[in-house]
Amino acid sequence: MREIGVAVVGTGYIGREHIKVVAAHSQARLAVICATPRSEESAVELQEVYGAGRVSADFMDVVADEAVDVVYLCTPNSKHVQQAVQALEGGKHVFVEKPLAVTLADCARIVAAARVSGRQVMVGHGARFSKIFVALHKLVQDGTLGEACFVEGDYVHDLGPFLDLPGHDWWLDAEQEGQLPIIGGACHPLDLMRWIAGEIVEVSAFGANRNLPAAPWYDTVIASLKFASGALGKCLVSCGAKIPYAMNFGYYGTKGSVLNDRLFIDGIPHADGFMQLPVEIRTEDHTCAEQLEHFLACIQTGDKPLIDALDGARSVAVCCAVAESIEAGRPVAVQLDF
């Protein structure tokens, strides 16, 4: 594998996590750290620690850099569309931290730009690389659990302590960034459910603001889901309740079921309870290293990434349907065509 030049755009928490793994990878070269003028000092500090080729506060300067093969977008969600399109038009491969974008129209722009450019796009839905969810995906794909009857996923994360931290002001810009607990929180279990159980085609949702009254979005969301297969589902988001972080997942199948790491298989004599899967569950497992390894391999081989632009757009589409259903007070069909 030849060495691939990577530019990481954004120096917030997740940007730093990606910078670490790019710098440590034997076949990647951390060519540029790109920051806003406000964050340029932090970028210089990161350059000194991780040995980046240079620092820039000009995104188009990064796009024009011939030493850059891949642009990693770790920027606010609303910035993704313009930056992704510009990078693709500049001939770069693009990694976009989830979500792909905030609106359906913005997702469509990125999907179209990816098709025209012939470059690879990967969306950073890191949960697909977590060991426990890889194991559950395999149990479904090989038929062990049978067809889904019901699928559920929870995203539980108290965002209250983070709202006043530096660099998080964009979280509260609901007009530009959308409903953060949905587009940035529910996207995790909703994407997992799509990957493991198939497309979600309709949602009916309710939202409440019970814990973070100063936030301009619903901190508690419950959505009922209908899958293309006919299975039903549920997604819970709690971003204000005082409870430890958790991302729970359940698959109720015709041959067996899984609740997180507890497995039940029908037909095993004398087994009338759950078995423990010997698979590690890591809290807030960002899997940045696994994602980088996968994306670099796809760039080398031309294979489609596990979460390409179209796949990322469809996960955003479910989130948008959830938000629309809350406001409209009715079920909403999910847009699948981009």
- Residue 35 phi/psi, 5° resolution? -135, 170
Token digits for 125? 């839905």
**pLDDT tens digit string along 287-326?**
999 999 999 999 999 999 999 999 999 999 999 999 999 9
Q: Where are the domains of the chain?
A: 4-126+288-308, 128-282+316-333
Q: Considering only CA atoms, which of 146, 99, 152 is closest in space to residue 319?
A: 99
pLDDT of residue 100: 98
pLDDT of residue 2: 77
Q: How far is CA 59 from the centre of its chain?
A: 22
| Record: fold of 128-282+316-333 | Dihydrodipicolinate Reductase; domain 2 (3.30.360)
Residue 234 neighbours by CB under 8 Å, 6+ apart: 150, 151, 152, 153, 222, 223, 224, 225
pLDDT of residue 92: 98
Beta pairing partners, 200: 227
Largest CA distance in the chain: 65
Domain 4-126+288-308 has CATH 3.30.465.10: no
Peptide bond before residue 99 is cis, with ω within 30 degrees of 0: yes
pLDDT of residue 1: 58
> pTM for this structure?
0.96
* Per-residue tens of pLDDT for the chain, all 338 residues: 579 999 999 999 999 999 999 999 999 999 999 999 888 889 999 999 999 999 999 999 999 999 999 999 999 999 999 999 999 999 999 999 999 999 999 999 999 999 999 999 999 999 999 999 999 999 999 999 999 999 999 999 999 999 988 888 999 999 999 999 999 999 999 999 999 999 999 999 999 999 999 899 999 999 999 999 999 999 999 999 999 999 999 999 999 999 999 999 999 998 889 999 999 888 778 899 999 999 999 999 999 999 999 999 999 999 999 999 999 999 999 999 99
